[in-house]
Amino acid sequence: MARAYVSSVINAPASNVWERVRDFNGLPKWHPRIRDSRIEEAMPSDKVGCIRNFNLQNGDNIREQLLGLSDYDMFCTYAILDSPMPLSDYIATLRLTPVTDGDRCFIEWSAEFECSPDNEADLVSGISTNVFQGGFDALRRHFGG
């Protein structure tokens, strides 16, 4: 099983960062690689089981299902249902933790998935850099850090 993991610190209170990333349908509002998104069957975007259907800036389409969401623990877990990437059984979690020294936010994003050994290094690198770190960089710019 392959694993991608990236963590960072955002110079803003965790509650403020959570407010920005919490919406399962809100990726286009904060992630620069996402062009548009919709929740299928008009379900609420915070209902476990809902499916977001979104397009990347390059036109690729991805469908993901919300598996868990906690405002108390500030995390969301989701699975990829359909993707052009050569992988399967993809489960990811985005988690925020308050850093009380300076009222900052520790943020981590991880994913585990199956793929062929030939694709593993490229997939782990691409997901870590383009998706996870790209999102963190955009959040850091938004919150002024």
Residue ranges per structural domain of the chain: 2-142
Give the pLDDT band of residue 145 (cuts 50, 70, 90).
low
- Could you give the percent of the chain with pLDDT greater than 90? 96
**For the segment 71-120, what is each residue's pLDDT rounded down to a tens digit?**
999 999 999 999 999 999 999 999 999 999 998 999 999 999 999 999 99
Question: Can you give the pLDDT at residue 65?
Answer: 98
- Could you give the percent of the chain with pLDDT greater than 70? 99
Mean of the per-residue pLDDT values for the chain? Answer: 96
**Sign of the alpha-carbon dihedral angle for 40, 108, 3, 67:** negative
Give the pLDDT band of residue 144 (cuts 50, 70, 90).
confident
What is the C-alpha to C-alpha distance for residues 21 and 40, in angstroms, rounded to an integer? Answer: 19
Against a cut of 0.85, is the pTM above it?
Answer: yes
Q: What is the DSSP letter of 132?
A: I
Q: Which one of 3.40.50.620, 3.30.530.20, 3.40.50.300, 3.40.718.10 gives the CATH number of domain 2-142? A: 3.30.530.20
Q: How many CA atoms lie within 13 A of 138 on its CB side?
A: 17
What is the C-alpha to C-alpha distance for residues 23 and 30, in angstroms, rounded to an integer? Answer: 10
- 10 Å CB burial of residue 141 (0-12, 13-18, 19+) is exposed
Question: Can you give the pLDDT at residue 116?
Answer: 96
Here the tokens at position 96 are 């925020």
Nearest to 93 by CA among 71, 83, 78, 113: 78
Q: Which amino acid, residue 77?
A: T
